[in-house]
Amino acid sequence: MDWVERTAQLRQWTRSGTRAPHKPLLFLYALSRFQQDADDELRYSAVEEDLRGLLAEYGPGNRTTPAYPFHHLVSDGVWEVRTERGPGSPGTGIRELRATGAAGRLTPELRAALRREPSLLGRMTRVLLDLNFPPSLHGELCEAVGLELEEAETALLSAARRQRDRRMREMVLTAYEYQCAFCGYDGRIGAVPVGLEAAHVRWRAFDGPDGVENGLCLCSLHHKLFDKGVLGLGEGHGKGHRILVSQSFVGHSTAAREHVITLADRPLIGPQPGVRPIAAAHRSWHTSQVFYGSPRPATTA
């Protein structure tokens, strides 16, 4: 049985690129708990708030419950649930999961495989991250669930993937003339740009292509906020696009206001003339699947 392949084939609800990272988030959390205590069971009532927080921060904007992955991950052969009455999940009802003392953990076969081959945990984690989340969130997600991976595991990229990333970065940074499309930052050390990155609008994990019509040149801060749904893209009042800032974002400092809040409804900077603009389909995907909540109006001062 190939556990890495099984991890890559988690059955998830999909429709037109809709994000449904519920099972991957629970699986990452379960792998972390296995790493801390291989025999520990995860009682639903004890981990519900942890899982709810992960779904709120790394899941889509629509309201959801951790009860669904807790029950449905069983069907993938990597997770088991038992209650005070015996083996088997009572379903997706929150009250029933709590009342029956439902507890889950990795299946005995998977736990045995992880004990025999410790490096398997890192390979499975890499698959879960690569297939469901953008690279800018991988390290943060590992910290959020408490996973500790070897440096070689967190930096594992194929030569082809590295080459693809490099080409994408060169194309996108050139298209935007080496400045952040949101704030105009264009820092360099000598001739080398620093703090500028090529962001995918539609994530590669959801069939986003490596091209300028799906890319933005962003500074490191705005790249992270774009991937977390704080920032987004709207249709422009004339040509081009405008910047969306989530109404849910809160920041009282001068820095938060200057670097985030005042961006609301500003026009996007670039790309340069002759470059293909961001495709409407990719922009719409980000707005529906990543951008959090509703956009705030433009600031007046």
What's the confidence (pLDDT) of residue 16? 60
Structure tokens at 184: 């105009």
Q: Which amino acid is at 269?
A: I
Residue 191 in this model has a pLDDT that exceeds 50 = yes
Instruction: Report the run of H or E that residue 81 belongs to, with start and end.
Output: strand 79-83
The whole-number average pLDDT for the span 221-242 is 88
Q: What's the confidence (pLDDT) of residue 164? A: 64
CA distance 278 to 211: 9
Report the distance separating Cα 225 and Cα 230, nearest Å: 5
- What's the rounded mean pLDDT across residues 255-268? 95
For range 1-23, the mean pLDDT: 79
Per-residue pLDDT tens over the stretch 92-121: 999 999 999 999 999 999 999 999 998 899
pLDDT band at 154 (very low <50, low <70, confident <90, very high): very low
Region 187-211 average pLDDT: 91
pLDDT score at 162: 57
DSSP 3-state assignment of 30? helix
**pLDDT value at residue 207:** 86
Give the pLDDT confidence score for residue 30 in this predicted structure. Answer: 95
Q: How confident is the model at residue 160 (pLDDT cuts 50, 70, 90)?
A: low
Average pLDDT over residues 221-225: 96
Of the two residues 31 and 10, the one the predictor is more confident about is: 31
Residue 104: CB partners within 8 Å, gap ≥ 6?
Answer: 30, 41, 42, 44, 70, 73, 74, 79, 80, 81, 82, 89
- The pTM is what? 0.80
DSSP, residue by residue, 234-299: EE-SSSSEEEEEBTT----SHHHHHHTGGGTTPBP----TTSPPPPHHHHHHHHHHTS-S-BPPPP
The yes-or-no verdict on residue 78 having pLDDT over 70 is yes
For 6, 7, 9, 98, 102, the CA distances from 92, given in Å and listed in that order, are: 23, 22, 22, 11, 11
What is d(CA 212, CA 256) in angstroms, rounded to the nearest whole number? 29
Quick one: what percent of the chain has pLDDT higher than 90? 66
- Percentage of the chain with pLDDT > 70? 90
Q: Regarding predicted confidence, which is higher, 231 or 191?
A: 231
Average pLDDT, integer, range 158-172: 72
pLDDT at position 205, please? Answer: 84
pLDDT at site 15 = 59
3-state DSSP call for residue 37? coil
Query: So where are the chain's domains?
Result: 3-153, 161-290
Structure-block tokens of residue 149 = 């991976």
For residues 198-208, give the mean pLDDT.
91
Going from the C-alpha of 288 to that of each of 37, 272, 294, the distances in angstroms are: 38, 27, 10
Distance CA 105, CA 31 (A): 9
Q: Residue 106 has what pLDDT?
A: 96
Closest CA to 272 of 173, 135, 153: 173
pLDDT, tens digit, 9 for 90 and up, residues 38-62: 788 999 999 999 999 999 888 876 6
